[in-house]
Structure 1
Amino acid sequence: MNEAEFMPMAIEFAKNHTLMVTAWVAVFVMVIYTFVKSATSKVKVVTNPEMTALINKEDAVIVDLRSVDEFKRGHVIGSVQLTPSDIKKKNIGQIEQHKSSPVVVVDANGLGAANIGEELFKQGFSRVYALKEGIAGWRSANLPLVK
């Protein structure tokens, strides 16, 4: 099949399957957007073992973004509880002195931690990380939480 035969067939396919073609284009655009965003992000996403190493070897500060109630039900030992709105309002007194230390941002499922980590980076924190899969991933790996 040469190009002269392919293009009319492709156009006909697109006309007959508009929704599917649109969905594939949307998925493709989102994949590219996600890739570019992660490549340009100042926040590195870390796994459970990487976070454990940061805690044990470099005294990383863990910032738990969940609500006070969720935090009380179980959190990583030594975590500091701050809400995303606290961070956006620069109400970060508990961690202000740790701007040169590694800071790992943890949320419920890992979906919003990197965005809040970017906010900390803008506020002068030089080494910001986000926990992949958040507390849900930590819990599913049977890693310890304290109450």
Structure 2
Amino acid sequence: MEQYIEFFTNHIGLGLIWVGIAVMLIMSWFKSKFTPIKQVNPQQLTMAVNRENAVVLDIRAQADFNKGHIANSVHLASEKAKQKEFSTIEKYKNDPIIVVCVTGMTASGVADSLFKAGFTQVSTLTGGVGAWQSAGLPMTSGK
């Protein structure tokens, strides 16, 4: 314990950075545990689609979607997602929805907007389409 105190007194700037990172990690953990938006892995996505008729909502660019996407996924233009224009997917409001993007980063913001717009069961695919492909799962091409 004395070494920590000595380090902090000798390196106040580094100590504050270390404490800041620790606080951010703890806050991130709490946020992920208490958010209504859950994260699913590719296997959980497959089970949700097969057992609960979940809808996969792909928010990548149209060109990327056309090159390859998860089978039966619904495309929502990224412009509409950013503008919170969800009228084209209103019919899925009470269905489980799993939002998918390239890496999983953009999906969380869109999922939060969907939840605030009244969509009741919203999740995101951890790692996005990249995680799907890394798991060796199939993609379909075309519209």
State the TM bucket, normalised to the shorter chain: 0.7 to 0.9
Larger CA deviation: 35-44 vs 62-71: 35-44
The residue correspondences of 1:68-79 to structure 2 (distance < 5 A) are: 68-79=62-73
Q: Determine which of 65, 72, 81 is the counterpart of 1:87.
A: 81
Large movers: runs of 4+ above 3 Å: 9-12
Report sequence identity in percent: 36
Q: Distance in 2 between matches of 1:83 and 1:36?
A: 31
Unaligned runs of 5+ in 2: none
Unaligned runs of 5+ in 1: none
Structure number with bigger Rg: 1
Alpha carbons of structure 1 residues 139 and 10: separation in structure 2 relative to 1, 3 Å: closer
Equivalent position SS for 1:94? helix
Aligned to 1:31: 25
* Residue 21 (1) aligns with residue 15 (2): yes
Q: Determine which of 121, 126, 135 is the counterpart of 1:141.
A: 135
Q: CA RMSD in A?
A: 1.9
* Residue 99 (1) aligns with residue 70 (2): no
For normalisation by structure 1, the TM-score amounts to 0.85
Aligned to 1:132: 126
Equivalent position SS for 2:88? coil
For the 8 Å contact 1:41–1:118, the answer to whether it is kept is no
Q: Distance in 2 between matches of 1:31 and 1:99?
A: 32
- Displacement of 1:94 in angstroms is 2.8
Q: Distance in 2 between matches of 1:54 and 1:72?
A: 23
For normalisation by structure 2, the TM-score amounts to 0.88
Q: Determine which of 44, 67, 70 is the counterpart of 2:61.
A: 67
For the 8 Å contact 1:60–1:101, the answer to whether it is kept is yes
Alpha carbons of structure 1 residues 29 and 84: separation in structure 2 relative to 1, 3 Å: farther
